[in-house]
Chains A and B, each alone.
Chain A
Amino acid sequence: MLRSLRRAADRRRQGHGRYDWLFSPYAGDELVAIDCETTGLDTRTAELVSIAAVRIKGERVMTSGSLDLRLQPPASLHGDSIKIHRMRGIDLSDGDTLGEALEKFLDFIGNRPLLGWCIDYDLAVIDRQLRPLFDFGLPNPCVDVAGLYRREMHRTRPQLEPTMNFERVAEALNVPVMGRHTALGDATTTALMYVRLKKGALAAS
């Protein structure tokens, strides 16, 4: 509700700007799975370390034309998160600036619907960075794969309380986990999970 109000406001403001096309409805059949690695888990302070996006067309996960961006090391990059995503400051020294990265990201995803594992978190972090620079939040419609899985499980096996752990869900859907805790790996895995869910993986088993 709040999001759609904001989107309406953003759209008015962007009217005939450089990114107005992002606000037009999408007519194609593609989706984009996104994932980002950040410096923390708090959406109010976490900063982006890397962003990845993979297009899905039908049942095909287009890993060949995927986007994998590394950003310049943010100030809040510290030990705890490095342990998870294994990106040290030095690995990021030749990364993009935040502005460049977000611009490439917007050009890649366009107005396609977005897909992610607990996508609300990624959206919140990206929006927080996007708003001061571009003066709008991501307007794309979003699908949360975790939510989709929970709903499907509830529909097909109402008696079970689903385990909502990324690896466990991947296992349940018979999807190989590719490069866990790299943005591109997680995005690809999420994309595969989505394709499997859409093809009725749960109903079939």
Chain B
Amino acid sequence: MVNMDLSQPPFTLLDDSGRERVARGVDLLYFSRDEIVLDAGQPGEFVYIIHKGEIAELDPYAPSDRVRIAHYTAGDLFGAISILKGTSRYRFKVEQESLCYAMPKLLFEHLCDDYPTFADFFQRRLAQKTRLLAERRAKSGVNMAGFMLARVSACMRAPLIVDAATTIAAAVNRLNESHADSLLVVNNGRFGVVTKTDLLNALVMEGATQARPVVTIAHFELVSAGPDQYLFEALVQMTRHQVARVVVVERDLPVGVVELTDVLSYFSSRSYMVSLELEQADDLDALAHASERLPELVQTLMAQGIKLHFVMDLLAALNGRIVDKAYQFLIDPRYRAQSCLLVMGSEGRGEQILKTDQDNALIVADDSDWPDRAMAMQRFTETLYTLGYPPCPGNIMVSNPAWVDSESGWRRTVSRWVERRDGASLMNLAIMLDARGVAGDTRLLDRLREYLFDSCSHDELLLSYLARAALHFAAPLTLFGTLKKPRHGIDIKKGGIFPIVHGVRTLALECRINETSTLARLEALAGQGRLEVDFAADLGEALALFIELRLKQQLTQLDGRQNSDEPNLVVVQSLSSLERDLLRQALHIVKDFQQRLTHRFHLEY
């Protein structure tokens, strides 16, 4: 009877009869302001589920700035841990008069006995909880509708048209050049289709020569569709005629081809399509077009609940390809071999998901001779801008001569930074540590990094200077108290992402780890025994969670649903209770990590 919302975890882990037992077994309780629901040291008698109101979890023994542990609002559940542990560790105080459902201890224990997954929920670690969230998101299948409503024109590729005189050999060449599976032959104003299978059959089964005109093996009965038809209609057509492609016809002229693989990859994530388009791009316009589609791809991948780790890897690879291609289009091969283009910052770490500022630099071989280098680099920066990478506000770009240097010049620069150890030098060192080579001769970068490690990894003083920055922003756990201001959010970049990334970077420098992505560095650190495997995994999950939260805000911004232009501020009230719980745990891990850094690099004073 009691209208309790049992559609949220952990109640989704019960079956109908379990939920029925919950609904029958709970009482309703009212608490007025400042009342204490459960005090520290008291035995837990009930699991409380808040229907309305706000309740704070406080640590009565902590110093006053760290008193606040958590904040619960409508839909949240608390008190379960107190029952499992026997007594409550913290004090639960009412912040705003609250109506709670109270589930008696006995019922809770019975439920835990009868439903092991329900019991597990309360003992899970952070990594497992994140998986739960991802699973739930995947189940909702957000983007199915997008597929059902997609039109043929969204998925077709330009047709490859050859004239009737083309030979089989020429046709095969054309197919290979443009990574296509089929081409259209025009013969007296009629169009026929030739597929790779047709070519194979003609050559092998019929023993045709390579000089035979391709028109003799074309099929002139086309399976066609209009560009405005729904994509699934095209799919139905293919299934009905047992072919793997349809020709898109508009006003009796073929305007495109839809391949079965395209439809399926469109359905699965479109990732294949985008990377294909990227590979096929043979001028800057085509590249720009492909790069425009990346945000959409991210959106689809996230909606399908793909683990963020893999999305980041994919995006890093795709972004790297875009920069590499742009470099290829603009720079003469001779110069390319003498230089190495680096991407740095989040892009270097492969943690940039939507496009951020361009952070790049260039190492040139000592013996290179490149007269109009500055001009070329200026043009390159401008090109990246047209591809959708905004210029770096700190001017860390190849158009800035300070970030273009010869190999020995870079070594001198690094030594100068190491000697000076002031704020700007440390920042530049940190940026350089994240550098990843995307184009040209990457051995140049490997040698420079070796040099960097040689000059830094034993310099305890430098390491502790570097590590100090990771403590600069405290984990915003105490900020939970100011949630009542509706516009106020917590800055997860300062409070979560930066401490992890920078701390891990410092440790990586100390241990001479060549990887640039934070997750890979964590793995390597755990492999070397520098961090415990569990802790490294938790840090990775925490980082993924922060990035995901930020990404979500950026995506809503792309949709124009949100006006705020600060994606790093997360308004905690707008999160679901599970996400809030995750965020809280993740921030605790950050805090723990900061304490370890303090300990390791002696930053107590």
Query: Which B residues from 12 to 44 make CB contacts under 8 A with A?
Result: 24-32
Contact at B27–A62, with CB atoms within 8 Å?
Answer: yes
Q: Which one of A1-9, A21-29, A184-192 contacts B?
A: A184-192
| Contact between A178 and B30, CB atoms less than 8 A apart | no
* Chain A residues with CB under 8 A of B62: none
Are B1's CB and A178's CB within 8 A?
A: yes
Tell me which of A62, A64, A175 has the highest count of chain B C-beta atoms within 10 A of its own C-beta. A64
| Interchain CA distance A62-B2 in the complex, whole Å | 11
Interface residues of A in 57-89 (CB under 8 A from B): 59-64, 66, 68
- Nearest A residue to B52 via CB reads A176
Cβ of A192 and Cβ of B28 under 8 Å apart? yes
Q: A195 in the interface, Cβ–Cβ < 8 Å?
A: yes
The B contact surface, by secondary structure, is strand
A172 nearest CB across to chain B (Å): 14
Distance between B218 CB and nearest chain A CB, rounded to angstroms? 69
Write the chain A residue with the least CB distance to B51.
Answer: A176
Q: For the complex, what is the distance from the CA of A203 to the CA of B313, rounded to whole Å?
A: 59
Which of the listed residues A63, A174, A182, A191 has the most CB atoms from chain B within 10 Å of its own CB? Answer: A63
Tell whether B60 is near chain A: CB-to-CB under 8 Å. Answer: no
Task: Find out whether the CB atom of B26 lies under 8 angstroms from the CB atom of A64.
Answer: yes
Q: Which 3 A-B pairs have the closest CB atoms?
A: A61-B28, A59-B30, A184-B1
**A188 near B30: Cβ-Cβ < 8 Å:** no
Looking at the complex, which one of A63, A68, A174, A182 makes contact with B28 (CB distance below 8 Å)?
A63
A185 vs B97: C-alpha distance when bound (angstroms): 22
Confirm or deny: B574 has a beta carbon within 8 angstroms of a beta carbon on chain A. Answer: no
Closest to B102 in A: A60
B27 contacts A63, CB within 8 Å? yes
> Which chain A positions have C-beta within 8 A of B102?
60
Chain B residues contacting A195 (CB-CB under 8 Å) are 30
Query: B176 contacts the other chain (Cβ, under 8 Å)?
Result: no
**13 residue pairs A–B, Cβ–Cβ below 8 Å:** A59-B30, A64-B24, A64-B25, A64-B104, A174-B97, A176-B3, A176-B99, A184-B1, A188-B1, A188-B28, A192-B28, A195-B30, A196-B30
Give the interface of B toward A (CB within 8 A): 1-3, 24-32, 51-52, 97, 99, 102, 104
CB closest chain-B residue, reference A68: B1
State A192–B24 Cα separation when bound (angstroms).
Answer: 17
Interface residues of A in 126-184 (CB under 8 A from B): 174-176, 178-179, 182, 184
B3 contacts A178, C-beta separation under 8 Å: yes
Can you name the residue of chain A whose Cβ is closest to the Cβ of B23?
A: A63
How far apart are B521's CB and chain A's nearest CB, in angstroms?
A: 50
Assuming the A-B contacts A176-B51, A176-B52, A176-B99, are A185 and B28 also in contact, with contact meaning beta carbons closer than 8 angstroms in the complex?
A: no
- Closest approach, in angstroms, between the C-beta of A37 and any C-beta of chain B? 14
Residues of A with C-beta under 8 A to B1: 63, 66, 68, 178-179, 182, 184-185, 188
Cα–Cα, bound, A179→B104 (Å)? 23
- A191–B1 Cα distance when bound, in Å, is 15
A192 pairs with B25, CB closer than 8 A: no
Select B27's contact among A60, A178, A199, beta carbons within 8 Å. Answer: A60
A61 lies within 8 A of B27 (CB): yes
Known: A63-B27, A196-B30. 7 other contacts (CB 8 A): A59-B29, A60-B27, A60-B28, A63-B26, A176-B99, A179-B3, A192-B30
- Measured CA separation A66–B29 after assembly (Å): 15
Q: Which residues of A sit under 8 angstroms from B32, Cβ to Cβ? A: 199-200, 204
A192 pairs with B99, CB closer than 8 A:
yes
Contacting residues, chain B, for A66 (C-beta < 8 A): 1
Q: How far is the CA of A184 from the CA of B1 in the complex (A)?
A: 8
CA distance A179 to B2 in the complex (A): 8
CB nearest neighbor in A for B28: A61
CA of A58 to CA of B63, assembled, Å: 35
**Nearest residue, chain B, Cβ from A191:** B28
What are the residues of chain A within 8 A of B24 when measuring CB–CB?
Answer: 64
Give the complex CA separation of A184 and B3 in angstroms.
12
Q: Among the interface residues B25, B28, B51, B99, which one has the most CB atoms of the partner chain A within 10 A? A: B28
Q: Which residues of B contact A199 (CB under 8 A)?
A: 30, 32
The docked-state distance in angstroms from the alpha carbon of A192 to that of B97 is 13
CB distance from A42 to the nearest CB of B (A): 28
User: A178 near B29 (CB under 8 angstroms)?
Assistant: no
In the assembled complex, which residues on chain A have CB atoms less than 8 Å from the CB atom of B27? 60-64
- Shortest C-beta distance, A69 to chain B (Å), equals 13
Please report the C-alpha to C-alpha distance between residue A63 and residue B51 in the assembled complex, in whole angstroms.
14
Bound form: Cα–Cα A185–B3 in Å = 9
Q: Which residues of the partner chain B approach A204 to less than 8 Å between Cβ atoms?
A: 32
> Whole-angstrom distance from the CB of B597 to the nearest CB of chain A?
47
Given the complex of chains A and B, what is the CA–CA distance between A114 and B160 in angstroms?
85
Question: CA of A60 to CA of B1 in the docked complex: distance in angstroms?
Answer: 17
Q: In the bound complex, what is the Cα–Cα distance between A94 and B228 (angstroms)?
A: 58
Residue of A with least CB distance to B2: A63
Give Cα distance in the complex from A62 to B1, angstroms: 13
> How far apart sit A175 and B104, CA to CA, in the bound complex (Å)?
22
B2 contacts A178, C-beta separation under 8 Å: yes
Q: For B28, what are the chain A residues with a Cβ–Cβ distance below 8 Å? A: 60-61, 63, 188, 191-192
Mark interface residues in A22-62 (1 if CB within 8 Å of B CB, else 0). Answer: 00000000000000000000000000000000000001111
